[in-house]
Amino acid sequence: MQITPEDQKAILGLLESGIEASTAKLAAISRTQWAIKTTALKAYATAEDFAELGQPSQYFFGAYCTSPGRVFLSYFSSRASALLTQAFLANSKRGLEATPQMQEVAVAEVSNIVINAIAANIADRCGMAFILSAPKSVRGARADIVTAAFGALQPVGKVFSATISLSSKDIAADCTLMMMLDDLIVNFILNALDR
């Protein structure tokens, strides 16, 4: 399937409207405001396209949810993960610390909330069901995290990917959201949007 610039713009608009709902949820969890920093679209993505993410080397925590033909991924730098975990545990009376294991659990839970907000918006706007898997935790180099999520897609046809980076000035933290869709899902979405 050919994805035109107009198609990409329509999908991006749909995704960004879901991001608004997810940033509100992220703000409630982290007690700070988040805004879109950058957006990148790739109509025909392959695993090799994500190799460039390996530089510079940095440690990330993330989680992804899958459904046939689609993968949603959310990942945070180790610094942002620690800050999110501290905020997430702030109401805990058990005195839990932001250890790497706890960061993995907290990021998976936060990712689940954010990803489902985006998926719910797409489902509502397109009249389709998005029954996503439980979040799968991943941590390590960014390229490895993205490649693992891409590997879980098992697409029919080509893959459309959208990457949106969020940032919070207040806590100098970052979050990256990715959506990977195969040709069947892209076609369904575009038809639902009357394109």
pLDDT digits (tens, 9 = 90+) for 46-102: 767 766 665 556 789 999 999 999 999 999 888 888 887 887 777 555 666 667 788
Question: What local confidence, expressed as pLDDT, does residue 95 receive?
Answer: 60
- CA-based radius of gyration for the chain: 16
Q: Enumerate residue ranges in the chain where pLDDT < 50.
A: none
CATH domain 5-192 topology: Chemotaxis protein chec (3.40.1550)
* pTM score of the predicted model: 0.86
Kindly tell me the burial class for residue 173, based on how many C-beta atoms sit within 10 Å of its own C-beta (0-12, 13-18, 19 or more): buried
Question: What local confidence, expressed as pLDDT, does residue 57 receive?
Answer: 62
Question: What local confidence, expressed as pLDDT, does residue 101 receive?
Answer: 83
Question: What local confidence, expressed as pLDDT, does residue 64 receive?
Answer: 96
Question: What local confidence, expressed as pLDDT, does residue 86 receive?
Answer: 80
- Nearest to 180, CA basis, from 191, 106, 156: 156
In angstroms, the first-to-last Cα distance of the chain is 14
Can you state the angle between helices 5-30 and 183-192, rounded to 10 degrees? 90
Could you tell me how far CA 143 lies from the centroid of its own chain?
A: 14
Alpha-carbon span 124 to 145, nearest angstrom = 28
